[in-house]
Amino acid sequence: LKVGLAGLGTVGAAVARELSVKSELLAERSGRSIEVVAVSARDKNKDRGISLEGIEWFENAVALAESPDVDVVAELIGGSDGIAFDVVKTALERGRHVVTANKALVALHGVEIASIADEKGVALNYEAAVAGGIPVIKALREGLVVNRISRVFGILNGTCNYILTNMEATKRPFTDVLKEAQDLGYAEADPTFDVDGIDAAHKLSILAALAFGARVDFDGVYCEGIRRIAPVDFEYAAQFGYRIKLLAIAENSEDGVIQRVHPCIVPINTPIADVNGVSNAVIAEGDAVGQTVYEGPGAGDGPTASAVIADIVDIARGLIQPAFMRPASRLAPLQRGDLSQRVGAFYLRLGVLDRPGVIAKVTQVLAEQEISIGSFVQRGVTEDGAVNVVIMTHTTTEAAFGRALSAIESLSEVVEKPCKIRVEDF
Ligand SMILES: NC(=O)c1ccc[n+]([C@@H]2O[C@H](COP(=O)([O-])OP(=O)(O)OC[C@H]3O[C@@H](n4cnc5c(N)ncnc54)[C@H](OP(=O)(O)O)[C@@H]3O)[C@@H](O)[C@H]2O)c1
């Protein structure tokens, strides 16, 4: 099986290395030899720690995708559009199998490119696009095939999980820990996609399409990042028996599927609360199997190459299946559920002026929306000299909490933007 690698960065170079070092093992396991015959990247002279001897170099990655000498094109460049999209589309149109690690591309153009793959009878595999080294696409597409999935959720962004874990452990603010993550290579120079939840939303939309048999609906994901979380939130959460995680959740509701990415307060004794550092975890709940939990490294050269190569080996073994479990033409639009009807409890941290009557006003607003208070803590002063007030509500709806929050924000005594975190009792 002749492989062309478009992109030789962190992932591409690791794929080239593993395919070379493990060539005998892979030939035994897949029943045929797998060989890299073509590569493309921007800089031909960069030392990538791998030998490119005897491998054809393409200045233009699209020309690699067009090459008749290549059976499988692995797109390892990145980005939802531009060169990555051109490479994948061209390869599929030419009847080449495609393997990609590119979640942005699959989230935004998954159905379009899956249609071309169907038409040409070739594979479009993207295991590495979601949760890095954890074979979660395979689990949903194959292992859980008989199940009706009611919910799939997890920690899908290692950068955010690293930041939250370290903020909790060291009590340092978000900006400090983000800087450290950047220095260690866990976060990009522009961290927006990670810390604002967009990367997790890309991955969630792919999982939801598979789990619920629908078109990928990235625009339908509600998305909130972790910038508003402060070190004190971890202390308060711990006091109530909880921990803070950025979760991506897709679940069936009465009127459709709700997809959401946001910080969550989760009970300390649940499996998801124990996933720390750059690790990822996915939990899928099916009617036949019940709850299944997958955990492991969600990024990095080795783990991502492991997933990319598993996709290549599937092709070597002749396992060609529709990208989203059924032909793209038979995927209905995802029926969206109404997030405002979601029922759950909330954690709310307010910075308020130290004046008599403030708490009464806040509780009055909550009472007007029929929201009762489970716990209440008032302790310490904020950087601006305001008093920190933390409230854990009882169960309410998103809509009612949203109305209460707007009213609380407009109180003159509330001097900082409130921090709200949803409580998820999985
Ligand atoms: N890194 C991870 O842990 C990880 C995990 C899961 C998924 N992914 C996904 O894997 C993909 C690759 O990520 P990465 O971390 O390996 O990125 P990377 O280190 O930045 O590598 C990107 C590669 O693409 C090449 N490239 C850029 N523009 C090109 C062009 N116009 N023509 C040909 N080659 C071009 C670069 O060439 P030069 O080397 O010459 O600059 C580089 O080799 C992305 O979709 C990413 O989201 C990454």
**Tens of pLDDT, residues 60-86:** 999 999 999 999 999 999 999 999 999
10 CA distance to ligand 1 centroid (A)?
7
Q: Which residues contact 287 (CB under 8 A, 6 or more apart)?
A: 147, 148, 150
Of the candidates 70, 110, 81, 84, the one whose C-alpha atom is nearest the C-alpha of residue 11 is 84
Q: Which residues have a catalytic role annotated?
A: 203
| pLDDT tens series, the chain, 426 aa | 999 999 999 999 999 999 999 999 999 999 999 999 999 999 999 999 999 999 999 999 999 999 999 999 999 999 999 999 999 999 999 999 999 999 999 999 999 999 999 999 999 999 999 999 999 999 999 999 999 999 999 999 999 999 999 999 999 999 999 999 999 888 888 999 999 999 999 999 999 999 999 999 999 999 999 999 999 999 999 998 999 999 999 999 989 999 999 999 999 999 999 999 999 999 999 999 999 999 999 999 999 999 999 999 999 999 999 999 999 999 999 999 999 999 999 999 999 998 889 999 999 999 999 999 999 998 777 777 789 999 999 999 999 999 999 999 999 999 999 999 999 987
Q: What is residue 67's three-state secondary structure?
A: coil
Whether 284 and 152 have beta carbons less than 8 Å apart is answered as: yes
330 CA distance to ligand 1 centroid (A)?
32
| Counts of helices then strands in the chain (DSSP H, E) | 14, 17
pTM: 0.96
Tokens for 91, please give them.
């390869």
Backbone angles phi, psi at 205, to 5 degrees: -65, -30
Radius of gyration (Cα) for the chain, nearest Å? 24
Query: What pLDDT is recorded for position 355?
Result: 87
Ligand 1 pocket by Cβ (under 6 Å)? 7-12, 40-43, 46, 61, 76-78, 83, 101-103, 128, 132, 299-300, 304
Q: What is residue 126's three-state secondary structure?
A: coil
> From the CB of residue 146, how many other CB atoms can be counted at a distance below 10 Å?
9
Tokens for 288, please give them.
């036949």
